[in-house]
Amino acid sequence: MLEVGAIWAFTSTTMASLMFFWSMYKQFVPYQVRNYLEKTLKKYLDKFFGTTSNFVCIKFPEYTGEGLSKSRAYDDIRNYLSSRSTARAKRLKAKESINSKSLVLCLDDKEAVVDVFQGVKVVWSLFVEDKENQSVSKVGRYLTLSFDNHHREMITETYIDHVLREGKEIALKNRERKLYTNNSRLDYISMRDGRWSSVPFTHPATFETLAMDLDKKEDIKKDLIKFTKGKDYYRKVAKPWKRGYLLYGPPGTGKSTMISAMANFLEYDVYDLELTTVKDNAELKKLILDTKGKSIVVIEDIDCSLDLTEHRKKKKEDDEDEEEKKEAENLKRQRAQKESNVTLSGLLNAIDGLWSACSDEKIIVFTTNFVDNLDPALIRRGRMDYHIEMSYCRFEAFKVLAKNYLENESHDLYGEIGRLLEEVDVSPADVAENLMPKSDEDDADICLRRLVKSLEEEKKKKAEREARMKKKKAEKKEKKEIQKKVNGAEENGKKI
Ligand SMILES: Nc1ncnc2c1ncn2[C@@H]1O[C@H](COP(=O)(O)OP(=O)(O)OP(=O)(O)O)[C@@H](O)[C@H]1O
Ligand SMILES: [Mg+2]
């Protein structure tokens, strides 16, 4: 047996010799030769361990194909790993992306992170490609997934799918949402722009701040949730995964606000389709085809956009305001028609025919002030599945507005305001304007008194309007009766 002293002596001499050789090697062997030797050694070691060890390694390069396009799988995996890395990796890299709403922390080069799936440990590592494998303009990276060969089937059949799916979802959540608007034909031809241009969607409206009947609001939220979870259901009943909402009601009742609240609730993009700048039906189809999933396609004031009405002449002779409104609306429509050749059937086809062909999970919303003017074909269930009436402000809606604008939940004036809101029809937009403090001195009391005053004025105006109408009606009736008498007298005169 060797003595302890002898072992120590042997080890220290060996270490000293190794260190001596290492420093000589570093000092006298040129960098290029060293690099070559190290790479060759690594290759042999990799080969040796690859065949003898029980580990499998899968490589996912950043750029693939002949054109070296960015690999989607690589991006999805990096997104997936970013959530794991933030908690587990020692070295992270902060990335700023145009499509992302905030900084993204991800795995740094030459760093590894362990992930556990169904009790199985795997290791992800990120490497930079060797110089000779890089293209001139792109510094390529690759991710490797290493795992025990025993779990080969589970990893290749389940785990990788899981990673890609989660990565996609994370990307969707982190993305900066967009508000798109369609470019006019001239714009996208001359400026080589796409059919849609976009800005970040930042509208702050939410269902919490939306003033409307609470039960109705809950029903809408439930309907939206059911829709987003309905992928398999829609497939089962052989329906394209889309849903149409018709929002109708007087101006200022929150139709546009509701669209923003829906988009924020679902985290969808919004495509605001301006029909009057669409040249014809073919262009409309292409525009709809160019929209992505997880989005709301909106056509506002559908009745004014084009001549999509049934031309039913429902004359309300007694109501002069109604007549004026209809005339203004007709003028608007005629002007729009001059610029566009989109027809009702073109619109119906674009909505229905193409939904099945283009990406899934889409909502289409029409808004209108005059629901009676729309052609029934346009708003039938199946096209516009859910009809939502946005109505004048009543007490329940007022309470939401008071909370939003004044952070106030009770006041002596609430009783009076509730009564007045039952008697007069004012839009939430009008109520909101009264509730908004106009200076630093405006407290809740001042704002609520201002609202009461404006509601009382509205009540007075309403009474005057009704009196005027009543008088007009009575005059008409009187005229009719006089005419009847004159006609009667003439008939009698003829007989005599
Ligand atoms: N139901 C509501 N809840 C909260 N705020 C509302 C509501 N309705 C209107 N408002 C306020 O009034 C403003 C105008 O509302 P909005 O544009 O949504 O009305 P609209 O129904 O789309 O009107 P129009 O028919 O004229 O397009 C909004 O910016 C919002 O501040
Ligand atoms: Mg609107």
* ipTM for this prediction: 0.99
Secondary structure (DSSP) of 318-334: T-HHHHHHHHHHHHHHH
Q: How far apart are the CA of 350 and the centre of ligand 1, in A?
A: 28
User: How many beta carbons lie within 10 A of that of residue 271, not counting itself?
Assistant: 24
Assess whether pLDDT exceeds 60 at residue 418: yes
> Do the Cβ atoms of 457 and 491 come closer than 8 Å?
no
User: What is the CB-side half-sphere exposure of residue 127 using CA atoms within 13 A?
Assistant: 16
Interval between CA 150 and ligand 2 midpoint (Å):
60
Please tell me the distance from the alpha carbon of residue 128 to that of residue 260, in angstroms, as a whole number.
43
Q: Is 247 in the pocket of ligand 1 (CB under 6 A)?
A: no
Residue of the nearest CA to atom 25 in ligand 1?
251
Amino acid at 357: A
* pLDDT value for 188: 59
360-364, 387-391, 456-460, range with the lowest pLDDT: 360-364
Find the angle CA(199)-CA(301)-CA(369) to the nearest 5 degrees. 135
pLDDT digits (tens, 9 = 90+) for 428-478: 999 999 999 999 999 999 999 999 999 999 999 999 999 999 999 999 999
- What is the Cα–Cα distance from 199 to 178, expressed in whole angstroms? 6
What count of other Cβ atoms lies within 10 Å of the Cβ of residue 388? 21
Which segments of the chain belong to CATH 3.40.50.300? Answer: 178-389
Ligand nearest to the CA of 212: 1
Helix ranges restricted to H, 53-115: 72-88
Tell me what the mean pLDDT of segment 399-416 comes to.
94
User: E strands within 280-320?
Assistant: 295-299
CA of 368 to the centre of ligand 2 (A): 8
Amino acid occupying residue 362: K
Which region among 345-349, 358-362, 418-422, 487-491 has the lowest average model confidence (pLDDT)?
Answer: 358-362
Q: ∠ at Cα 301 (295, 304), nearest 5°?
A: 140
Q: Is the pLDDT of residue 328 over 90?
A: no
Q: Are 81 and 107 in contact (CB under 8 A)?
A: yes
202, 248, 253, 406: which to mutate for ligand 1, most atoms within 8 A of CB? 253
Which is it for the CA torsion 126, 127, 129, 135, positive or negative? positive
* Res 185: pLDDT: 67
CA torsion through residues 395, 401, 403, 408, sign:
negative
| Torsion of Cα atoms, 126 then 132 then 136 then 139, to 10° | 10
Q: Report the percent of the chain where pLDDT is more than 70.
A: 77
- Neighbouring residues of the ion ligand 2, judged by CB less than 5 Å: 255-256
- What is the C-alpha separation between 475 and 470, in angstroms, rounded? 9
Mean of the per-residue pLDDT values of the chain = 82
Higher pLDDT, 97 or 127: 127
Span from the CA of 193 to the centroid of ligand 2 (angstroms): 27
Q: Do residues 144 and 131 touch, judged by C-beta distance below 8 A?
A: no
| Higher per-residue confidence, 303 vs 101 | 303
What is the pLDDT confidence band of residue 313, given thresholds at 50, 70 and 90?
very low
Confirm if 178 and 199 have CB atoms less than 8 A apart: yes
pLDDT at 108 over 70: yes
**Of the ligands numbered here, which is closest to the C-alpha atom of 303?**
1
211 CB under 6 A from ligand 1? Answer: yes
428 lines ligand 1 (CB under 6 A): yes
Nearest ligand to the C-alpha atom of residue 260: 1
Element (H, E) at 335: helix 320-339
Q: Among the bound ligands, name the one nearest to the CA of residue 427.
A: 1
The per-residue pLDDT for 118 is 94
Residue 324 has pLDDT above 90, yes or no: no
Fold (CATH) for 178-389:
Rossmann fold (3.40.50)
Nearest to 283 by CA among 180, 192, 188: 188
pLDDT of residue 312: 36
Atom 26 in ligand 1: residue holding the nearest Cα: 251
More confident site: 357 or 88? 88
Q: Record the tokens describing residue 221, joined without a space.
A: 């939220």
Q: Residue 317 has what pLDDT?
A: 42
Q: Is the model more confident about 205 or about 489?
A: 205
Give residue for tokens 């992505």.
292
Q: What is the mean pLDDT of residues 51-62?
A: 81
Residue of the CA atom closest to atom 11 of ligand 1? 429
The bound ligand whose nearest atom lies closest to the alpha carbon of 251 is 1
Going from the Cα of 254 to the center of ligand 2, the distance in angstroms, rounded, reads 7
Please give the single-letter amino acid code of residue 22.
W
Ligand 1 atom nearest the C-alpha of 404 is: 4
* CB distance 205 to ligand 1 below 6 Å: no
pLDDT for 74 beyond 80: yes
The residue written with tokens 């139709």 in the block is: 255
Question: How far is ligand 1, taken at its centre, from the CA of residue 379, in Å?
Answer: 22
Q: Binning pLDDT at 50, 70 and 90, where does residue 175 land?
A: confident
Question: What count of other Cβ atoms lies within 10 Å of the Cβ of residue 285?
Answer: 20
Distance CA 80, CA 95 (A): 14
From the CB of 436, is ligand 1 less than 6 Å away? no
Q: Which of the listed ranges 27-36, 98-107, 144-153, 313-322 does the model predict with the highest average pLDDT? A: 144-153
Q: What is the pLDDT of residues 223-279, one digit of tens each?
A: 999 999 998 998 899 888 899 999 999 999 999 999 999 999 999 999 999 988 888
Nearest CA to ligand 1 atom 10: 429
Buried residues in 449-484 as b, exposed as e (16+ CB within 10 A): ebbeebbeebeeeeeeeeeeeeeeeeeeeeeeeeee
For residue 38, pLDDT over 90 is answered with no
Does residue 404 or residue 106 have the better pLDDT? 404
Q: Please determine, for residue 48, whether its predicted confidence score (pLDDT) is greater than 60.
A: no
Cα separation of 391 and 398, whole Å? 12
